[in-house]
Amino acid sequence: EVLLLESGGGLVQPGGSLSLSCAASGFSFSSYVMNWVRQAPGKGLEWVSAIRGSGTTYYADSVKGRFTISRDNSKNTLYLEMDSLTAEDTAIYYCVKDNIVGAIHHNDYWGQGTLVTVSS
Amino acid sequence: DIQLTQSPSFLSASVGDRVTITCRASQGISTYLAWYQQKPGKAPKLLIYAASTLQSGVPSRFSGSGSGTEFTLTISSLQPEDFATYYCQQLNSYPRSTFGQGTRLEIK
């Protein structure tokens, strides 16, 4: 069974930093692209960042230069380091596994999410 | 950036109804489109990928179609557990992706 368990969310002041983790199990972690997707309260879904098994990284323009995605394949863990946080970063952050069938990618498993609140 | 526009944003329907949600892309994305269902307080759940392929375990009353810029999600006969918010997602610019704004499906 695929499990994705996020942790590290909480309350942080504007301008502060926070680190999220996602412990993965039930699949060959190093073989899959992993993503962070967020959802502001009462709003829609926003893709934040992705990382290939090799470590190549991708970011949404809204977080580029402030957030850093990384992974430790030996620990089956995905990370998101968030700096210079603003109120607009307040959201539930989901850890999301990619899958590929043929040449078609899709996000087949999502964690339960961890809430990040940026407020003074 | 590729934008996705879902319509309607809100839909009221009854158990047993057939409903269709549309997702339009700002440029052609072939069939690189997925649909998700999200219930309050829960993570999104994958329903359909590659525009029309049903994810394992998803009931056959869900179906998807389309290619290029226009896509539809159809629920053939609404069940009580189907009342939720539905999102489309484009993966043409993979691994970057974008989501539609969502369609909230409520009981009439």
What's the pLDDT at A111?
Answer: 98
C-beta atoms surrounding A112 within 10 Å: 14
**Amino acid (one-letter) located at B11:** L
Q: Read off the pLDDT of each residue in B27-53 and give the average, rounded to a whole number.
A: 97
In the predicted model, what is the mean pLDDT of chain B?
Answer: 96
| β strands within B1-108, DSSP E | 4-7, 10-13, 19-25, 33-38, 45-49, 53-54, 62-67, 70-75, 85-90, 98-99, 103-107
Length of chain B: 108
Taking chain A (120 residues) in runs of 10, the rounded mean pLDDT of each run is 97 98 97 97 97 96 98 98 98 97 91 97
Which of B36, B54, B94, B101 to mutate against chain A (most A CBs within 10 Å)? B94
Question: Are A45 and B50 an interchain contact pair (Cβ–Cβ within 8 Å)?
Answer: no
CA-based max dimension of chain A? 48
What's the pLDDT at A103?
Answer: 83
Between strands B103-107 and B10-13, the pairing is: parallel
Inter-chain CB pairs, A–B, below 8 Å: 62
In the block, residue with structure tokens 């073989």: A31
DSSP, collapsed to helix, strand or coil, labels residue A72 as strand
The beta-carbon neighbor of A47 closest among B32, B97, B100 is B97
B94 and A CB contact within 8 Å: yes
Q: What is the pLDDT of residues B55-93, one digit of tens each?
A: 999 999 999 999 999 999 999 999 999 999 999 999 998
Q: What are phi and psi of B81, to 5 degrees?
A: -75, -5
